Chain A
Amino acid sequence: MNLLEIRELSVEFPAGEGSVKAVSRVSFDIREGETFGIIGESGSGKSVVGLALLRLLPANARVSGNICFAGKELFFLKPSELRKIRGKRISLMPQNPAGALNPALKNGLQIGEVFERRGIEKKEGMKKALGLMKKLFLQDPEKLCGLYPNQLSGGMRQRLIAAMSLSFEPELLIADEPTKGLDPEARAGAVELFTKIKNEYGKTMLLITHDLDLAHEVCDRIAVMYAGEIVELDEASKILHSPGHPYTKGLIRAHPRNGLVPLSGQSPSRIKLPEGCFFHERCRHAAVECSRRHPEIQNHKGGRIRCHLQFLQ
C-alpha cells in the first residue's frame, strides 16, 4: 500500500527574468511502514520536496504536480483541512533545529502548543510531551521546559524537535538532514534516535540526508536527486553498494570510507539548465547523445534510472 504518491512535482522560484528550477518532475511513492531516503548534494532540491509535501513553500514558489496522501489530494485541501494534517498526520523535522525553535519562547510552550486545539487538555498534552522527551533520551525534561532554546545544545534541540514531531505519532515523518552540523557524538546519538523511532514507532518516514551512513542504517529505499531531478531510485542496499547511475557512483565514491574521491565540477545553473542530461558536463561516461537528448527515467533491474548509458549499451 502506498501512503504517499508524488506525481510530476515541479517547483520553480521566480528570479529576475527567469526562474530557479528547484525541483523538476519528481515522482515517487512511499509505501506504508517504509523509510524512504532522498540523497543528493547540496542544492539538489531535497528540502524543497519535503516542504512541498506540507505546502510550506514560500508564497512566491510556483508548484505543479500532484501529491496524494492516504487517498487525499494535498494541493486541493482547504487551509483548515491542511492544518489537521500538519503536525498530526504528517510531521516535519526541519533541516536546522536551531532556526526552527523560536528564540523568544520557552521550550515548554513550544512543545506544549503542538497539542493546542487538538482536543487534548493542556495538562495531558504536557504529560505526553514530557514522556516523549524522556523516551528520546532527554534528561530532566521538566527543567528543559523552563529554559529557552538557546540554552540547549544542538543535539538536545534536535531531540526536542523530534519530540514535537512525534507527539501525535504521525503517519508520515519527514526528517530533513537530521545529522547535519552535529558533532560526531551528537551524530551517533541522532543515528541511535532514528533507529529507535523506526523500530519503536514503525512509522513511515521520509529521510532527507547527505549522510550516507545514516541512510544506510535506516533507509529501505533511496531516491538520488541531482539538479532537481530524481536520477536513480532503488533499494537502499542496491543504491549504496551497486549504484547504476554515474552520479550515484560518484556520490558513493566521494564518501570518506570509499576513498573520498570528490566529484569534479559543479552542478549546473538552475535558471538555465543545460540541454541533454543535466549531469553530462561532469559525467565520465558522457556520449554525444548525452548532450543532445534529456534522458527520461526508466525501469531498470527492479529500480528506476535516468541515464542513456544503461540503454545505449
Chain B
Amino acid sequence: MRYFLKRFGFMALTVFAVCALTFFLMNAIPGGTAELILKHTFVGLEESATEEQLNQISSRYNLDDPLYIQFFRWVKAAVTGEGIGTSYVFRKPVLYLLALRLPATIQLAGASMAIAVLAGVSLGIYSALRENRISDHILRVATLFGVSMPCFWVALLLILVFSLKLKLVPVAGYGSLENLFLPAAALSLHSMAAVMRVTRTSMLETLGQEYIRFAKAKGLPLRKIISRHALKNAMLPVVTVIGFQMGNLLGGTIVIEKIFAWPGIGSLLVDSISARDLPVVQGCVLAIVSMFLLVNFLVDMLYTHLDPRIRYG
C-alpha cells in the first residue's frame, strides 16, 4: 500500500514538473501571446493590431499577470476539476478538444504497440531458437535497420512504396483499417526491432540456465520447455523494454500523426504549437505524459506478476 502511495505521489510530481516546464518554455518563445490571439481572432489584422485591442485581449485572458500566477491559476483550475483552460483558436474547452482527439491516438498507439509486441516477441524467440543460422542473421541485420531508421523516414518510404507505387492504401486519412495500416507500421517498426532484440538476447540467456537443462533432464518436450520454463523468465527484460518503447511510441505519434493527417493528440499538439495556442499545448502535453505514466505503471504491475521474487507492499 505504501508503495502505491509513493508511486502515485511520484507520478503526480512528474506531471506537475512537465506541465510547469511546458508552460514556462512556451512563454519564453518571443512574441506576445495577446498579439497572436488577436491574429487568430481577426483575420487580416496581422500587422495593424492596435494597442487598445491588445490590452483588451490581455486583460480578458489575464495575460498581464506574472507568469507564476498564471501557472498557479491553471494548476488550481485543473486540480479542482474546473478544466484546463480554453483554446484561443477554437474557443472551446481544452478538455473537449482532447476528448475529441484521444480515441485516434489511442487507436494508433495501441495498434502500433500490439504489432511491435506480437511481432517483436515472436520473431525474437524464433531468432533465438535458430541462433547463428541464416534466418537468425537476416533478422538481426533487419533489426539493426529497424532501430536506426527514424520513424518519419520509414513513414515516407512506406508512403512511397505502398501508396504511390503500389497504390495499395491511401496516403493519408483516418477512419478505416486501410488508413491505419501505414501509420501503425511506420510507428511500430522501431519498437518492434527493439523488442525483438531484447527478446532474442534474453531468450538465449534463459535457455542457457540450469533449470532449462533440468527441465530437459525431466524429459519434457522442447515446446513445453520454451512455453513454460523459458518464456516467463525471458519476458522480464522484454516487459521493461516495452515500457520504455511506449514512451518512444507516444513521442513518435506526434510526427506520424502529422505526416498521415491522423486526427489525434499528436497532430493537435503540433498545430497548437505553431498557433501558439498555449492552453491546448499544455493540455496535449498533460495527456501524453499521463498516458506514458499510466502505461509504465501497468508494465510494472505486469512485472510483479511475472516475477514472484518482486513484491511491492
Contacts and interface: CB of A to CB of B under 8 A. Distances in A.
B220 A116 contact: yes
B222 to A, nearest CB: 8
Interface in B273-291: none
Interface of A: 51, 54, 56, 58, 79, 83-88, 91-92, 94, 96, 99-105, 113-114, 116-118, 148, 150, 161, 164
Among the interface residues B215, B219, B221, which one has the most CB atoms of the partner chain A within 10 A?
B219
B167 interface: no
Classify chain B: how many residues form its interface, as a range. 20 to 34
Contacts of A150: 308-309
B211 A99 contact: yes
B229 A86 contact: no
A105 B228 contact: yes
A94 B308 contact: no
B233 A84 contact: no
Given A56-B217, A113-B228, 10 more contacts: A86-B217, A87-B218, A88-B219, A96-B210, A99-B210, A101-B214, A102-B215, A103-B309, A104-B308, A161-B214
Contact of B213 (A56, A91, A113): A56
Contact of B219 (A87, A99, A161): A87
B241 interface: no
B216 to A, nearest CB: 6
B214 A92 contact: yes
Contacts of A51: 213
Contact of A94 (B217, B222, B233, B306): B217
A104 B230 CA distance: 10
A164 B217 CA distance: 11
B224 interface: yes
B232 interface: yes
A148 B214 CA distance: 17
9 contacts: A87-B219, A94-B217, A96-B210, A100-B211, A103-B308, A104-B233, A105-B232, A116-B224, A150-B309
Nearest to B218: A87
Contact of B210 (A88, A100, A117, A148): A100
Nearest to A84: B219
A104 B308 CA distance: 6
B232 A104 contact: yes
Contacts of A103: 211, 233, 307-309
Interface centre among A58, A99, A113 (most CB of B within 10 A): A113
Contact of B221 (A56, A102, A114, A117): A117
Contacts of A94: 210, 213-214, 217
Interface string B118-131: 00000000000000
Nearest to A149: B211
Nearest to B220: A113
A84 B208 CA distance: 23
A113 B229 CA distance: 11
Contacts of B233: 102-104
Nearest to B236: A104
B80 interface: no
Most buried by B among A51, A91, A100, A114: A100
Nearest to A59: B131
A148 B219 contact: no
Given A94-B210, A99-B209, A104 B217 contact: no
B25 to A, nearest CB: 44
8 interchain residue pairs of minimum CB distance: A87-B219, A99-B210, A86-B219, A100-B214, A87-B218, A92-B217, A102-B211, A104-B232
A102 B213 contact: no
B229 A102 contact: yes
A148 B218 contact: no
Contacts of B306: 104
A164 to B, nearest CB: 7
A4 B307 CA distance: 41
Contacts of A84: 219
A97 B104 CA distance: 52
Contacts of B224: 113, 116
Interface in B222-276: 222, 224, 228-229, 232-233
